[in-house]
Structure 1
Amino acid sequence: MSKTLVIAEKPSVGRDLARVLPGPFKKEEGYLEADNHIITWAVGHLVQLAEPDEYDAKFKKWRMADLPIVPPKFKLIVRDERSKKQMSVVTRQLKRDDVDNVINACDAGREGELIFAYLFEKAGAKKPVQRLWLSSMTMDAMKEAFATLRPGEEMAKLEAAARSRSEADWIVGMNATRAATIRLRSSFDGAVSLGRVQTPTLAIITRREEEIRAFVPEPYWLVDAKFAAEGQDTRQYEGRFHAGANPRITTAEEAAAIVEAVKGQTGEITKLEKTTRKEKAPLLYDLTSLQRDANTRFGFSARRTLAAAQRLYEEHKVLTYPRTNSRYLTSDMVPEIKPTAEHVGAQRDYKVAADYVTSMDLLPLERVVNNEKVGDHHAIIPTNSPHKLDKLSDDDRRVYDMVVRRFLAVFHPEAVFHNTRVETTVAEYVFRTRGKVLIEAGWRGVYGELQESERDDEDEGRDQQLPKLEKGEAAETRKVESLEKVTKPPRRYTDASLLGAMEGAGKLVDDEELREQMKDSGIGTPATRAAIIERLIDVGYVERDGRALVATEKGLNVIRLLDNHPLTSPSLTGDWEQRLDKIEQGAEERQKFMDDIAGFATQTVQVLDEKLKDVRIPRANLGPCPVCGQDIIENRKGYSCWSREDPGCGFVIWKAKAGKQLPVAVAKELIAVGRTAKQITGFKGRSGRNFRARLALQQSEEGKWRVEFDEAWAKEGAKPPDAETVPETAADAAKQAIEAAAQQDAAASPAA
């Protein structure tokens, strides 16, 4: 009897598919088998593009003369030992005589298509292929997908785009990385990793860091007053001085003069404007907007949010496919909206909002349904199936809650506010006041926001709940004061703001025509942006400091040295993403794109060879050694007072600590005072989770110096105690030991 082989992307998906196919299925090593179907799976990417030395042994050595490397035909290799085992299982199933047909059940998108295409080619398979296209892992969705399998030939253009992206990244990344590393090997530790996506992303972060470093704070003053409407002390409100639209005062003398002029004076309410503002519900989530909101609300990294959304789709089956760039639904999904609301309304937290949606005779669909704005996948919404939430982790529950409330809110009416703007004039000085009241909660009621939270603007002041006021009323100045402020530098990027910058990278392009072309693209794709951020951290270009993404000296130097090379520009990757989309749509030939990539790689090698040939970045000098007084110099692995020419005293601070490279600033602080004043972020525990801790410099009984975690609570996942309970002994001991060693060394010197 002939059988159909189903290849899923992960084992868990394979097991789910078995639930909707005729069984029973017998569990075997790496696959499941029934009378009519065999189900096996990849484990993500089993197969990848081969390294250069697979084409020629000479490429094991990195030499400029061998660049660029552009294979005429790309070779594929199995990823690692773990992958080899499962790849052998997949290959055996593909070559079985009783298997006549193959179903590609990998994730429905460019990356899933690539995973299948690579393993199918590597296995040497020739059998006919059909495509299973899933946006939801519910039973009904899987049954429907099996009933409407698509011919494999329909996926040829998607596969061409997937292969083009993979091969283009290999060509550009491999050649640029080798060229830069060869020329900068004396200045940097390890490879200088470059790529057509990660490098422009790094450029965005480093340019912000350069702006922060160049920023010079300037003082300014604000003048605030508290007023009482005449006759009733309870009618008090606050105002801030404005000169026209500007609240900032440039000198302390001018601010003091205003304070003196209005102190104790009675003014008049010279303007009172009331307006009504309506606020529409936000659109449904795509992956990037979900990641940005989760970072803002919970501090989740983009990768952490994606992992939770993927589990909710794949394991718990309560959300639709998350790797989407659409915020709309298609018209054929309209009949599912109310049943989906009924399923989420079974949970007490969502019942009221869900009942509102299901009770509507006519759903407001104009901002929800748009076939033209849905590509491979629609917006992320709850699935039309019963939702079991008892096994959701905290992360999963938070992301689920965000998606459910957004789905329900989009069908609710607008929120309505009354805005009030008051101007109080005292001795010819005008003070502005803003009031804002939420009149109708509308969609905000889905989030439990029955009152609008007060907005406090650094310069404009806060929104207030105002008493009843009338134009022309007298207002007594009860209190007035000047506040000294300083201008602040631009904020460092967080995951949320960086994702926004990557998505809207076209705005950073000067060329008007290209900027228009890029309005629907950006750096990377929703499915890859989280991995790009983590890649920059892994290669030491960026560090996390709380929620902030901070460029390291290595990251800064890489972008400085590239000096506006096209690799640093978002226009390059934005243009390529658009061309890949055209390949997917059949509007551009894959070969033309790849020829252009090869030409760009050749040009890039030539430019980097010439630009970086004589570059030497001096190693950091951290000042005198606390033990022997000799200069401590940065080297490849640490900061020490010894070198090949002079062994020094042996004092060293190693860079590597719990998965993090200690930067120069931390080493300087340890040398100066024996401990760090603040917690250092970015350490990784054995399970891979991040934690933060203070560091202390300590000396062992054998006399060797080492950096240790200063708090007993510096354990993965542990919370710090109150500040007064943090032990100081390690830091004090380190500092005393350094001072004692220095005194002994001084006493033993001839000068003494």
Structure 2
Amino acid sequence: MRLIIAEKPSLARSIAEALPGAAQKKDGYLSVGDTEVTWCLGHLLEQAPPDAYDPAFKPWRRDHLPIVPGQWKLVPRPKARGQLSVIRARLKQARQLVHAGDPDREGQLLVQEVIEHLGWKGPVQRLLINDLNRPAVARALGRIEDNARYYPLYRAAQTRARADWLYGINLTRAWTLIGRQAGHDGVLSVGRVQTPVLGLVVRRDEEIRHFTPYPFYVLWAHLRVGAGTLKAWWVPGESHRLDERGRLLDAAPAQTLAERLPGAEGQVSSVDSRRRRQPPPLPYSLSALQVDAARRHGLSAKAVLDICQRLYERHQLITYPRSDCRYLPREHLASLPGQLASACRDDTTLSGWLANADMGLRSRAFDDAKVGAHHALAPTGKPFVAERLSRQEADVYRLIARNVLAQFYPALETQEVKAEFRLLDERFQASGQTLLVPGWKPLFTTRDEPPPLPALVEGEACQALEAQVEQRETRPPEPFTDASLIKAMMNIARYVEDPEVRRTLRETDGLGTEATRAGIIETLLERDYLVRKAKALRATRLGVGLIHSLPEAVSRPERTALWEQRLEGIAEAQAEPEPFVAQLVEDLRTLVGSADSQRLSAALGAAQGESPEAGPASKRGRRTNSPRRSAGRKRRPSRKGSTT
């Protein structure tokens, strides 16, 4: 018997359907001829807690740190024991074994750690699937490879999991222990991902709190040209007092010029007119969807993830949602017209969009080279009936369907004009836009665009009709929301100064993964580090105090980039895990040694009154995280990877 172990039930079903013959459903697996297909449920195993290595580690003590296992252990997750038993029983009957985890680092780890934990000694083959359409799965079954080729990928993922354990367990214990000395009765969790995310919010809040507004002045003039009138803005020269963004800080020059302008004559000094063609926005990844759903419908990142899981598992309306990809396989071009017709027929909004779509178009979204472990979110083709879903589920589904439908609309085409004028030896600027081809834009907004400029000819005369000076005031940055914090995690390189580190972060998935980012935000809320105020996410006194008590390197994202460089070397078989782990242990000795209860106490005191307190829900979470109840207990990792 050949046994195929898939990463998740949906993948197992797709494999079974692509095999020749009818699949028979068994308890925890599917049988098709001489092949059985079973599955994991995300990670079936997790890193063992410290006391599994030595019972002395159950009480939290400073002199135990850093805890470094000599021989690493995995233990079954409590809810996974049943499926693990199924896989164990099927392995005993198997002659051939096929690893069918997702074709990425975590997918390689997730299935292979089960195979090794259960003691399989025979050869293993590798099935790589990134498109669940039946023809694509059937082709993948015809090109199964030797799993040994992907062993370095497994070692890299395994090293990342162990490194996150070392980092999270040791720093969490160290700061919890000094927290007790500083009078805080609760766990102070620290992690490679969650702590830099908290650091982003703390620093943004401090920018807002310490922001000192100041006035600046703008001057505009109504100008008459041959084809009509327009509004142009004065560009003050460097001889005036300007801020770093070129804004005028002294009203007097603007007032003087405004008094002289009415009736003044000048000319159009330059006209730059360009036709711009903008392709439709790509289909959604999970994070991109979370950003848009937060902005358009006020949904939290966690709410969007939960809605997507229901649309995928319960309603079977969308493809696998925990995807970091915004592209679709080229093969989908053949099946999507029928799927969209079926999906959209019972909804007025979607059927209206579908009626105007041109299924003969092919957008940049269909690109096999850019499809990784998963493709972008898309409708499955099952009819969408809004009345059978909650309002929020229907809202999210329409967003997903809209972005796929947009691929069958023409590009948005506009004529953009930028013009400069000279009056009284001063420069003025104006810009405008003319809509040429609306393309996909009507699916996304009904807002009126600003009026275009009248036709302009370089060198033609112009005359100022009136002018006015407006006083404005600088504004602090906006506090983070679910949408902007998810976007910051996706684009974390923007918050890094070192160009080499920034480059590495641009090439990776940022902080967290599609599957974990929402959970990171919720974890920070549950642990009283953040609180929601309306839509804003603000750091609490505890969150501010923790960040200020930690070494700066712990609360910034650079470590993720440095780890990624080392892990990529392991994944490409160019480096070994041992030197990376050894260096981490040395770093941990220094970091643990820097834990200072007086510094933490001072940081918590300084944060008093500067940050909002946590709400009732968070306070309930704090009680469950008492260090006495949590001693030695390892937090469960996410389905794919750790959110520490």
TM-score (norm 2): 0.78
Question: For each residue in 1:56-78, what CA deviation from the matched residue of structure 2 results, as whole angstroms up to 9, or x when unmatched?
Answer: 12111111111111101122222
Q: What's the offset of the Cα at 1:495?
A: 3.7
Read off the aligned partner of 1:543 and give its amino acid letter: V
Tell whether the 8 Å contact from 1:198 to 1:532 is kept in structure 2 after alignment: yes
Q: What's the offset of the Cα at 1:184?
A: 2.4
* Matching residue of 2:291: 292
* Matching residue of 2:523: 535
- Among candidates 553, 560, 582, match of residue 548 of structure 2: 560
Look up the SS of the partner of 2:602 in the other structure: coil
- Among candidates 609, 617, 638, match of residue 602 of structure 2: 617
Q: What's the offset of the Cα at 1:193?
A: 1.1
Distance 1:244 1:387 in 2: 61
Distance 1:662 1:67 in 2: 26
Measured at CA, do residues 291 and 545 of structure 1 come closer, stay the same or move farther in structure 2, by a change above 3 Å?
same
Distance 2:469 2:621 in 1: 43
Matching of residue 134 in structure 1 with residue 129 in structure 2: yes
* Matching residue of 1:204: 200
Matching of residue 49 in structure 1 with residue 42 in structure 2: no
Look up the SS of the partner of 1:549 in the other structure: strand
Distance 2:9 2:500 in 1: 46
- Among candidates 428, 437, 440, match of residue 440 of structure 1: 437
Read off the aligned partner of 2:249 and give its amino acid letter: T
Question: For each residue in 1:586-642, what CA deviation from the matched residue of structure 2 results, as whole angstroms up to 9, or x when unmatched?
Answer: 22223333333333223322233xx446642387699xxxxxxxxxx99xxxx9xxx
Output the aligned Cα RMSD: 4.1
Read off the aligned partner of 2:161 and give its amino acid letter: S
Read off the aligned partner of 2:558 and give its amino acid letter: S
* Matching residue of 2:578: 591
Matching of residue 193 in structure 1 with residue 189 in structure 2: yes
* Matching residue of 1:681: none
- Among candidates 169, 179, 182, match of residue 164 of structure 2: 169
Distance 2:484 2:179 in 1: 31
Look up the SS of the partner of 2:383 in the other structure: coil
- Among candidates 384, 396, 407, match of residue 389 of structure 1: 384
Tell whether the 8 Å contact from 2:101 to 2:108 is kept in structure 1 after alignment: yes
Read off the aligned partner of 2:518 and give its amino acid letter: A
Name the stretch that deviates more: 532-541 or 302-311. Answer: 302-311
Tell whether the 8 Å contact from 1:100 to 1:128 is kept in structure 2 after alignment: no
Identity %: 32
Matching of residue 182 in structure 1 with residue 177 in structure 2: yes
Distance 1:249 1:36 in 2: 78
Higher relative contact order (CA 8 A, sep 6+): 2
Q: What's the offset of the Cα at 1:49?
A: 1.0
Look up the SS of the partner of 1:658 in the other structure: helix
Tell whether the 8 Å contact from 2:130 to 2:375 is kept in structure 1 after alignment: no
- Among candidates 562, 567, 570, match of residue 580 of structure 1: 567
Read off the aligned partner of 1:111 and give its amino acid letter: E
Question: For each residue in 1:354-381, what CA deviation from the matched residue of structure 2 results, as whole angstroms up to 9, or x when unmatched?
Answer: 42x42x6xx576x85473x55x436416
Distance 1:49 1:57 in 2: 16
Distance 1:180 1:483 in 2: 52
* Matching residue of 1:78: 76
* Matching residue of 2:617: 658
Distance 1:662 1:248 in 2: 47
- Among candidates 347, 351, 354, match of residue 351 of structure 1: 354
Q: What's the offset of the Cα at 1:163?
A: 1.4
Distance 2:105 2:603 in 1: 44
Tell whether the 8 Å contact from 1:328 to 1:378 is kept in structure 2 after alignment: no
Q: What's the offset of the Cα at 1:121?
A: 4.2
Measured at CA, do residues 549 and 11 of structure 1 come closer, stay the same or move farther in structure 2, by a change above 3 Å?
same
Tell whether the 8 Å contact from 1:380 to 1:403 is kept in structure 2 after alignment: no
- Among candidates 33, 41, 57, match of residue 59 of structure 1: 57
Read off the aligned partner of 2:354 and give its amino acid letter: K
Measured at CA, do residues 613 and 54 of structure 1 come closer, stay the same or move farther in structure 2, by a change above 3 Å?
farther
More helix by share: 2
Tell whether the 8 Å contact from 1:228 to 1:236 is kept in structure 2 after alignment: yes
Question: For each residue in 1:644-686, what CA deviation from the matched residue of structure 2 results, as whole angstroms up to 9, or x when unmatched?
Answer: xxxxxxxxxx9762345799xxxxxxxxxxxxxxxxxxxxxxx
Measured at CA, do residues 507 and 587 of structure 1 come closer, stay the same or move farther in structure 2, by a change above 3 Å?
farther
Distance 1:117 1:544 in 2: 40
Read off the aligned partner of 1:567 and give its amino acid letter: V
Look up the SS of the partner of 1:464 in the other structure: coil
Distance 1:187 1:217 in 2: 37
Look up the SS of the partner of 2:67 in the other structure: coil
Look up the SS of the partner of 1:44 in the other structure: coil
Q: What's the offset of the Cα at 1:48?
A: 1.1
Look up the SS of the partner of 2:216 in the other structure: strand
Measured at CA, do residues 619 and 541 of structure 1 come closer, stay the same or move farther in structure 2, by a change above 3 Å?
closer
Tell whether the 8 Å contact from 1:437 to 1:452 is kept in structure 2 after alignment: no
Q: What's the offset of the Cα at 1:436?
A: 1.4
Distance 1:326 1:435 in 2: 34
Look up the SS of the partner of 2:518 in the other structure: helix
What is the 5 A alignment of 1:564-713?
A: 564=552, 566-608=553-595, 611-612=596-597, 615-617=600-602, 657-659=616-618
Q: What's the offset of the Cα at 1:214?
A: 1.6
Distance 1:440 1:223 in 2: 33
Tell whether the 8 Å contact from 1:321 to 1:377 is kept in structure 2 after alignment: no
Tell whether the 8 Å contact from 1:9 to 1:106 is kept in structure 2 after alignment: yes
Name the stretch that deviates more: 165-174 or 109-118. Answer: 109-118
What is the 5 A alignment of 1:538-553?
A: 538-553=526-541
Distance 2:114 2:8 in 1: 13
Q: What's the offset of the Cα at 1:399?
A: 4.8
- Among candidates 226, 243, 248, match of residue 236 of structure 2: 243
Distance 1:311 1:584 in 2: 34
Distance 1:313 1:137 in 2: 13
Tell whether the 8 Å contact from 1:196 to 1:573 is kept in structure 2 after alignment: yes
Read off the aligned partner of 1:389 and give its amino acid letter: F
Measured at CA, do residues 448 and 514 of structure 1 come closer, stay the same or move farther in structure 2, by a change above 3 Å?
closer
Question: For each residue in 1:395-429, what CA deviation from the matched residue of structure 2 results, as whole angstroms up to 9, or x when unmatched?
Answer: 55555554555456557654332233456777777
Tell whether the 8 Å contact from 1:409 to 1:443 is kept in structure 2 after alignment: yes
* Matching residue of 1:69: 67
Matching of residue 114 in structure 1 with residue 109 in structure 2: yes
Matching of residue 157 in structure 1 with residue 152 in structure 2: yes
Look up the SS of the partner of 1:616 in the other structure: helix
Tell whether the 8 Å contact from 1:268 to 1:424 is kept in structure 2 after alignment: yes
